[in-house]
Structure 1
Amino acid sequence: MPDESAAADLVLLGGRVHTVDARDRVAEAVAVHGDKITRVGATEEVSPLVGPGTRVVRLDGRSVLPGINDSHLHGMWLGSMWPNLLMDQLAGTGGHSHEGPTRLETSDDRRRALLRTAELLSSFGITSYTEPGLGPGEDDGATGCFGSAALHDYAELAADGALKARVTALLLFGELDGRSSAAELLAGLRDFKPPADVPGRFHIAGVKIFADGIPPMQSAWTDRPYADGSHGALLVDGDSDAEREAALRAMIDAAHDAGHQIGVHATGDRTTRVVADAFAAALARDDRDARHYLIHGDLLSPQTLTVLAAARIGLNTQAGIPVATEPMLAAALGEDALRDAWPTRDALDAGVRLSLSSDAPVLTPDWRAGLAAAVTRRGLDGSVRGEAQRLAVAEALRAYTATPAWQDGAEDVKGTIEPGKVADLCVLDGDLYDVEPESLPSVPVRMTVLDGEVVYEI
């Protein structure tokens, strides 16, 4: 623990400090010494830590949040695409070029993309993110954004302190949004040697698996039939549904037994059910606190949510996707499918650990837009979609801070504003609870603090 009586290096006074602790306490001030938070409380409790070398920031009612953790964001791809977003291209909005990125051929190309992302994310108050899938499965990929060389670029930039965020990565032994096989994953687990972690800045946590596609493209594996009578299929190699399911279960078992965390892209209701059952079975063998999680989860039955909650399996989803694509899902699978579509409210009520993320550059990495979408379920056209699945502001904030820290296995280190935790902070020029959620994206981020160092300020 840091010396709580030592003079602070940075003190923020006179605001609303949303701690996101177990009781969601709101304080007035926070003190930082070195890279740690040393005191949180009323202004008169924190002011005695101001010394001759302390920088004092008078908040004047501004709010302080834990550093935002975007728990599913393609950092290198985002840096090569920004300001273009895939969802804007799909909708024909955004006012930017609709061209995709040129291939990142060299280490210099990849590092420029990452440094561009570093600057962008710090301006949004994001201090942690997960890069969900880098590895040999994409060494010949079309963009150059997801191959194994990217892991080394990340590690070297992290060692230099250039990323301006803490990055968690998952290994990828298949194709991005494409096929994979149990044999390739087993070979990767056995033979691939990733770079070493950089403590506190870069950590390879486990493995990403693509189980299926997405419902609007009729590539998610579903119980309900699509309009043409098909049900989609798993992306895993196999000659039948049964063979592909067996291979997927074998991949999950192998990665679990190797000690990895596993994130599985799963969207169809048949896929999410199989993945949840496979996770639960693996966890039941050794009761390891593996922090496995299901990614996207477009269609989740109540029974699957029960399995996720009981087995301590996380759900990582994007609130902006339903407000943009619900009509496409209904067109593909019928209105009845909407009952189980993106059930964020139902997931929390069932006890599932819910993380919200951007999937940037699919959606904007601006978490303020994502939080607004989670709270309002309102799309750009003004329509509210899935109103019963709305979250409260405090719940959505937790899903961008404390719960992603749990996903990272770092809830004792970050995710809340409490003494002893790292000083990762986001300062807003206003308060989350004083503005209409639709207006939140217009509330500026004034300051971003990482490890006690101001990395962005206006």
Structure 2
Amino acid sequence: MNDDVRADLVLRGGRVHVLDAQDTRAQAIAIGDGRILAVGADTDIEPYIDAGTDVVELEGRAVLPGINDSHLHASWLGGMWPDTVFGAGGPREGALVHDDAQRREAILRAGEVIASLGITSYTEPGIGPGEDDGPTGSFGQPVLDLYRTLDAEGLLRARVNLLLVFGLIDGPARTQAILDGIRDADTTVRDPARFRIAGVKIFGDGIPPMRNAYIHGRYDDGTHGALLLDGGDDDEREAHLRTAIVAAHEAGLQVAVHATGDRTIDVVVDAVRRAVAQHPADLRHYVVHADLLPRDTAPLLAEAGMGATIQAGIAAVTSEWAAAATGGPVPTPDWPARALFDAGVPFTLSSDAPVLPPDWRTEIAAADRLLGPAADARARLHELLRRYTAVPAWQDHAESWKGTLEPGKVADLAVLSDDPDAVGAQGLPTLRIERTYLGGEVVYDAASAPIATGEA
């Protein structure tokens, strides 16, 4: 180390999970100017301490990289909280927010909730003019404008990646509106490390339990679902989806497509492969949900440089509903995760809050259950934790500066009451979030500002 370098903050005497590919562990971490200076044994960090250093004695507690929920509807979450779609309160009818004051309050409320869960980054997956007349009031252009305002005021309590939407959330879209939106998209921001407009969200289809996911086979009622883009028949709608994906790629925008049906997923992957072949670029397009991912398609995602974001908690709730709709057996209990693992696709775990609470602990526990017994439980836990930290940083094009606790990266941290290794994946929900740091600054402290986090 440079003898002149001194830490503003040191956390020592604990279990520091770097969550790099090598599964590095340490006792202590030194932080200066919002970035990680060093990790190592307590003795390694001692030289970074002087009279001005804030030293936190962990006393065996654990430190993880700040959690990154790669699919979290924060504006919607704040409008519903503490209710969730699958929770005791259930979905609400009509508008959740009616004016800018309520929208602002909803975003800020969501910020408090996610900070209390150790979340320091999230993707807001679908905000923009396509939802200006949407029923909830939670997704339109005014919400995007408020995000810009709150960022300028320094009031966002997490790093936000936002995807623009030019059609209704979970509803139909006009292809021309998507193309016009892509052409006119304003992605300029003050500081992309704090608030970034990453690209565009396209809703490809519905969901299998509702029989409106677009599938190769047939549902029990004889239908096969349909794409949500306009068109006179399946072929035209498929062509329109391909056109929209290629247009976004050529504009340099990351594309995230809600795609649950196997036929939708195949159309999306085909479109991305064509776009990348014609205009090579590392934009990291990805599939959202991927419920009925064909096993043969998974390697094609990897070849195209694509990712996926999937939700274990939702899969656990809905798999039998999907099986009833498709008239087949309950889908394989490891849902698409096993195929994605085997193909080497950089997929993330996420909550899709407020469908369920944005609690990564319960999501990882659910993922572990769906995957079944592990030959190496510690190695699996490490991989699942990375799907909430390092891999979403890749999705954000930010793996060089966040997502792991390596020197030089931002000091986004979650302090837990105990070591995840000590309790295992199934014990994660028993761990308390004791403190959350964003860029080395405390944004949540359980001792002084507890936040109710709703149902487990």
Normalised TM-score (structure 2): 0.93
Instruction: Give distance in 2, aligned partners of 1:100 and 1:37.
Output: 46
User: In the alignment, does 2:413 pair up with 1:425?
Assistant: yes
Shift of residue 232, structure 1, vs aligned partner: 0.5
Instruction: Give distance in 1, aligned partners of 2:247 and 2:373.
Output: 38
User: In the alignment, does 2:368 pair up with 1:375?
Assistant: yes
Please give the secondary structure, in 1, of the residue aligned with 2:296. Answer: helix
> Which residue of the partner structure matches residue 382 of structure 1?
none
Instruction: Give distance in 1, aligned partners of 2:256 and 2:355.
Output: 18
- Corresponding residue to 1:143 among 119, 136, 141: 136
Residues 260-316 of structure 1: per-residue CA shift (max 9 Å, x gap): 000000000111111111111111222200110000000111111010011110011
Please give the secondary structure, in 2, of the residue aligned with 1:403. Answer: helix
Instruction: Give distance in 1, aligned partners of 2:311 and 2:18.
Output: 23
- Does structure 2 retain, via aligned residues, the 8 Å contact 1:171–1:207? yes
User: In the alignment, does 2:389 pair up with 1:404?
Assistant: no
- Corresponding residue to 1:217 among 196, 207, 210: 210
Residue correspondence of structure 1 range 235-246 to structure 2 within 5 A: 235-246=228-239
Distance change (3 Å), C-alpha of 1:259 and 1:154: same
> Which residue of the partner structure matches residue 383 of structure 1?
none
Distance change (3 Å), C-alpha of 1:322 and 1:103: closer
> Which residue of the partner structure matches residue 443 of structure 1?
431
Shift of residue 3, structure 1, vs aligned partner: 6.4
- Corresponding residue to 2:123 among 125, 130, 134: 130
Letter in 2 for 1:425: L
Letter in 2 for 1:47: E
Residue correspondence of structure 1 range 245-256 to structure 2 within 5 A: 245-256=238-249
> Which residue of the partner structure matches residue 60 of structure 1?
59
Instruction: Give distance in 1, aligned partners of 2:368 and 2:332.
Output: 18
> Which residue of the partner structure matches residue 289 of structure 1?
282
- Does structure 2 retain, via aligned residues, the 8 Å contact 1:207–1:260? yes
Instruction: Give distance in 1, aligned partners of 2:46 and 2:5.
Output: 12
> Which residue of the partner structure matches residue 8 of structure 1?
7
Instruction: Give distance in 2, aligned partners of 1:243 and 1:330.
Output: 28
Shift of residue 354, structure 1, vs aligned partner: 0.9
Q: Which runs of 5+ in 2 are unaligned?
A: 447-456
User: In the alignment, does 2:441 pair up with 1:453?
Assistant: yes
Q: Which runs of 5+ in 1 are unaligned?
A: 89-93, 378-385
Distance change (3 Å), C-alpha of 1:388 and 1:15: closer
Residues 359-418 of structure 1: per-residue CA shift (max 9 Å, x gap): 0000110111111111122xxxxxxxx638999211110000000000000000100001
Residue correspondence of structure 1 range 35-434 to structure 2 within 5 A: 35-88=34-87, 94=88, 96=89, 99-100=92-93, 102-193=95-186, 196-336=189-329, 338-339=331-332, 342-377=335-370, 387=372, 392-434=380-422
Letter in 2 for 1:55: D
Residues 20-76 of structure 1: per-residue CA shift (max 9 Å, x gap): 112111111100001100011111001221111111111111111000000100010
- Does structure 2 retain, via aligned residues, the 8 Å contact 1:168–1:408? yes
Letter in 1 for 2:33: G
Identity %: 51
RMSD: 1.9
Instruction: Give distance in 2, aligned partners of 1:310 and 1:340.
Output: 25
Normalised TM-score (structure 1): 0.93
Shift of residue 108, structure 1, vs aligned partner: 1.1
Distance change (3 Å), C-alpha of 1:101 and 1:23: farther
- Does structure 1 retain, via aligned residues, the 8 Å contact 2:306–2:346? yes
Please give the secondary structure, in 2, of the residue aligned with 1:167. Answer: strand
Shift of residue 171, structure 1, vs aligned partner: 0.5
Instruction: Give distance in 2, aligned partners of 1:100 and 1:47.
Output: 56
Please give the secondary structure, in 1, of the residue aligned with 2:287. Answer: strand
Instruction: Give distance in 2, aligned partners of 1:71 and 1:113.
Output: 19
Distance change (3 Å), C-alpha of 1:320 and 1:215: same
Letter in 1 for 2:54: R
Shift of residue 345, structure 1, vs aligned partner: 2.1
Instruction: Give distance in 2, aligned partners of 1:341 and 1:9.
Output: 44
Instruction: Give distance in 1, aligned partners of 2:429 and 2:13.
Output: 23
- Does structure 1 retain, via aligned residues, the 8 Å contact 2:250–2:279? no
Letter in 2 for 1:435: V
Residues 68-99 of structure 1: per-residue CA shift (max 9 Å, x gap): 000100010000001111122xxxxx3x4654
Shift of residue 341, structure 1, vs aligned partner: 7.1
The count of corresponding residues between Structure 1 and Structure 2 is 443
Letter in 1 for 2:9: L
Residues 102-161 of structure 1: per-residue CA shift (max 9 Å, x gap): 442222111100110111111000000000011110011111110011111011111222
Shift of residue 224, structure 1, vs aligned partner: 2.0
Distance change (3 Å), C-alpha of 1:78 and 1:406: same
- Does structure 2 retain, via aligned residues, the 8 Å contact 1:64–1:428? yes
Shift of residue 167, structure 1, vs aligned partner: 0.2
Distance change (3 Å), C-alpha of 1:188 and 1:395: same
Distance change (3 Å), C-alpha of 1:337 and 1:268: farther
